[in-house]
Structure 1
Amino acid sequence: MKRLYFIEPVVAIYAFASFMLYPLIQQYVYRRLWLEITNSTYPVSENTSQCAANSSNHTSRQEEVQKAASLFSMYTDLSSMIPSLIVTLLLVSYSDQRGRKITIIMPLIGTLIYTLSFLTVSFFQLNLYLLIVASFVSALFGGIGTMLGGCFSYVADLCEDGKQKTLRMAVVDMMIGMLAGVASISTGYFLHAAGFNWPFFTSAIFQVVNLLYAIFILEETRVIDRSETLACCQALRNLACSIYSLFAGGSRRRTWVLVLLIITFSSLSFVNTGGLSIVTLYELNEPLCWTEILVGYGSAAGTSIFITSFVGVFLFSLCLPNIAIAFIGMLSVAVSMLMTGFAKTTLTMFLVRIPAMFAIMPFPVLRSMMSKVVSKSEQGALFACVAFTETLSTNGSAASFSRIYAATVAWCPGFVFLLGAGLCLIPMSLLGILKCVHPLDPNDTQALLSEDGTEASDDPPVA
């Protein structure tokens, strides 16, 4: 069978299967906790008026369920954080020596285990807290950070030109948004018509197909000498050396730029992921009280920003430097979170997606900027560090925002979004420092690479 160098189908199917799963998870946990706490079935209606007749006792019980659901989300994120961090760092670094596919295949196996665990708990009505155990086990195979780290390393291997690298990384992000939007809309109707079991099962089928494609059809980008075998200690030593040389082997200026870019990337990821992790709970709470169909439409509207962000990267890259593009995206995140914090009606909640239309732009741009200042042999080590910090920030932010939401939901449900808008000042300030302290000239990429004696690059400037 002829093998292909197309990573996009893997990302597309993964996005569809995952975003079919993510809205279901919070809603399933929410309904199970509602049943356990209130000892009554969850009120399902065809419209958003189910909160209109709520008594004060009902409101109190709803706040209790909101707190329990957010704390459950925090426990799940914390249980998966440590193993996912370790596996991400090891696997993506190891891909420099043994190929990129391992960083893609392993997380797909982990996600499949997680989905099948949800299907089992839902079908047999098992203890809800078994899902925390499932989260820990699946994290032993890596997480979304591991897979995306492998995918972006794969793209970096294939692209020679800097602009091509930026656009293809943006395409990968756009594929996530396109398929996630389709999945989010279909999930709302699927859940409404068939309950939880069939959507979980369908997601598992797509993940099996994706796994088979990654194993048997996707071609490896790095030539692997199978005759070379390393002992475990030697392999770990090589991994540590590759990560160490990424920062210590180059010039001081390159190290400073890399560290600043990684911190900027992870701090923005912390804010963006933390806010997104609370959106579904916020929509289920008063005064919105959305149904599963509205939650699906909301998720789809939210994922449309991947498409608008890709268009933004494509158009802005024709006339603006990368730093300016990233700054516009960060401003988009801040404004949308600020607006979400004050959203009290369905219309306003949908309009929040308008200022968020460029919110994804900074991520492919910052990845491309980092990729341009390291050599091809260091791409795996770089994206291992990026994936490690991204996993740490995303899991840490989801746990932190869940805890803050649990503590503030009674008096100000939108407080976490206002906090997120304020925290956006951190990556925006770091980006300003990078521009002011190290104004990047047209020969910057070549200079950063040549200062430490590594290969020169013909890429355009990173800003």
Structure 2
Amino acid sequence: MGLGVTCPWGSRLSGLQVRTWIEPVVASTQVAGSLYDAGLLLVVKESFAPKAGGSSNHSASQSLRGYQEDQQQKAISNFYIIYNLVIGLTPLLSAYGLGWLSDRYHRKISICTSMLGILLCRIGLLLKVMLGWPVEVMYGAGALSGLCGGFSAYWSGVMALGSLSCSEGRRSLRLILVDLILGLAGFCGSMASGYLFKSMVGHSARGLVLTACSVSCAAFALFYSLFVLKVPPESMSKPNKVCPTVDTVSGTEGTYRTLDPDELDKQNVSTNPLTPEKRKPSRTILVLLFVGAIIYDLAVVGTVDVMSLFVLNEPLKWDQVQLGYGMASGYIIFITSFLGVLVFSRCFQDTTMIIIGMISFGSGALLLAFVKKTYMFFIARAFMLFALIPVTTIRSAMSKLIKDSSYGKVFVILQLCLTLTSVVTSTVYNKIYQLTLDKFIGTCFVLSFFFSFLAIVPIGIVAYKQVPKSQEESAGK
């Protein structure tokens, strides 16, 4: 299945072991992605920019400019409605098949194929900037990336290789660190995006350096994964027989366990079977966790999609550099959420951490609705420091309710639900944003605040169902 590895692993920093690290691929791909996201938004904005027109009447010209800016916002929103549908739905045709091929033939199939599509999509934006193609060509570029598996196939392949490269006891920490690398790389790319977009003189070439850097990073990631990256021996992912994995800290173990379907911990399943008494309530709790994750994802996706349009319009009206800073602030959440899990898991249960994250995001979304100045925007983002905790911890909680052999099936179903939710949410939120643009521009953020706190309801029920059991156990002791 994987590449044969016969070299001894005596040195922890041997050249062969370094070649099994997935971090260089993750970092370069994420830098390329953050540059691409910023570049696409700025290119689309310029494509729909209102044409300059003279007017002797100052008040009339002001009114006309305001009308043109509203029309530009609606045009950008309509573009992203179609674009998000394309990149959200097309991976459903190929991602599962690529995962199946990776499980049975070679672990790098899903990574390399999806990264080829990502590279072609970045090249599409570069050609649009160089040749002046219509912006609608990006629909085709997005579809091409999706048909090659998109982010879904790429990230599942990354998680599988990360699982194989360490023992089960170290797997959770290793993959959380991969998430941290993802956030740091995105932060760096976003910080540089505004400067790179403005670095080329001349209106026809604006964004050329930015898109070229994005293509270069994506090409490096593809060639690294093809010719340098090695598949680690599967024996590394087996449980430690001397020190078996024990969930001693709630919320930190089991988050990314057994992502590789070929590595089933049969011993753990046999020693911890689900009794008939636990199966029924576990199913109920599992459904509640699904509902909580879907509602919360609805709030997050809607806010993120509208936020990029919001900062380009009045009252903020950011330029390219400010937009890069704003996008970079979103990646700081990867760091703070990671630190939050490490700290909160020592004091709170999984459900409490999930609720903390939902309250954090909901509070920030409500503040965004009333932002008038740039500093107010960053204050609102500061309230969202723990926004990534809920979905990660929900996966951790699910892993403690099901058998190891069901991890892949349950997580695939969850990811499919989140993907479909994202597609529908993006369309609905963009339409709501257009309809409320002239009335109250923060309507979508208020809606996200409502959904974020609504997601607390099923999580609260889970917490309520678990409290009596813990009390009975303590009383019995």
Aligned to 2:184: 178
Using CA pairs below 8 Å that are at least 6 residues apart, which structure has the higher relative contact order? Answer: 1
Does structure 2 conserve the Cα–Cα contact (< 8 Å) formed by 1:305 and 1:359? yes
Query: What amino acid is aligned across from residue 176 of structure 1 in structure 2?
Result: L
Shift of 1:357: 0.9
Compute the RMSD of aligned alpha carbons.
Answer: 2.9
Shift of 1:197: 1.4
Aligned to 2:51: 39
1:434 counterpart (446, 459, 462): 462
The whole-number CA distance in structure 2 between the counterparts of 1:280 and 1:127 is 21
Does structure 2 conserve the Cα–Cα contact (< 8 Å) formed by 1:89 and 1:388? no
Shift of 1:125: 0.6
Distance 1:202 1:130, change over 3 A: same
Shift of 1:362: 1.8
Post-superposition CA distance 1:5-30 (Å, at most 9, x none): 42333222222110111111112111
Post-superposition CA distance 1:258-307 (Å, at most 9, x none): 44333332332222122112212111101111110111111112211111
Q: Helix, strand or coil: the match of 2:144? A: helix
2:357 equivalent to 1:329? yes
Unpaired stretches in structure 1, ≥5 consecutive residues: 42-51, 225-238, 243-248, 443-463
The whole-number CA distance in structure 2 between the counterparts of 1:172 and 1:75 is 31
Give the alignment's TM-score, normalised by structure 1: 0.80
Shift of 1:101: 2.8
2:434 equivalent to 1:423? no
Distance 1:440 1:122, change over 3 A: farther
Distance 1:88 1:178, change over 3 A: same
How does 1:386-401 map onto structure 2 within 5 Å? 386-401=414-429
The whole-number CA distance in structure 2 between the counterparts of 1:440 and 1:155 is 37
Task: Compare CA radii of gyration and give the structure with the larger one.
Answer: 2
The whole-number CA distance in structure 2 between the counterparts of 1:186 and 1:430 is 40
Query: What amino acid is aligned across from residue 39 of structure 1 in structure 2?
Result: K
- State which drifts further: 402-411 or 260-269: 260-269
Does structure 2 conserve the Cα–Cα contact (< 8 Å) formed by 1:2 and 1:217? no
How does 1:28-177 map onto structure 2 within 5 Å? 28-34=43-49, 38-40=50-52, 55-92=62-99, 95-98=102-105, 100-157=107-164, 164-177=170-183
2:208 counterpart (188, 194, 197): 197
Unpaired stretches in structure 2, ≥5 consecutive residues: 1-14, 54-58, 201-205, 236-260, 265-275, 471-477
How does 1:6-25 map onto structure 2 within 5 Å? 6-25=21-40
Post-superposition CA distance 1:232-262 (Å, at most 9, x none): xxxxxxx9xx9xxxxxx99444444444333
Does structure 2 conserve the Cα–Cα contact (< 8 Å) formed by 1:371 and 1:379? yes
Does structure 2 conserve the Cα–Cα contact (< 8 Å) formed by 1:88 and 1:387? no
What is the percentage of aligned positions where both structures have the same residue? 26
Distance 1:384 1:221, change over 3 A: farther
The whole-number CA distance in structure 1 between the counterparts of 2:466 and 2:117 is 41
Aligned to 1:406: 434
Distance 1:23 1:192, change over 3 A: same
2:16 equivalent to 1:2? yes
The whole-number CA distance in structure 1 between the counterparts of 2:151 and 2:412 is 12
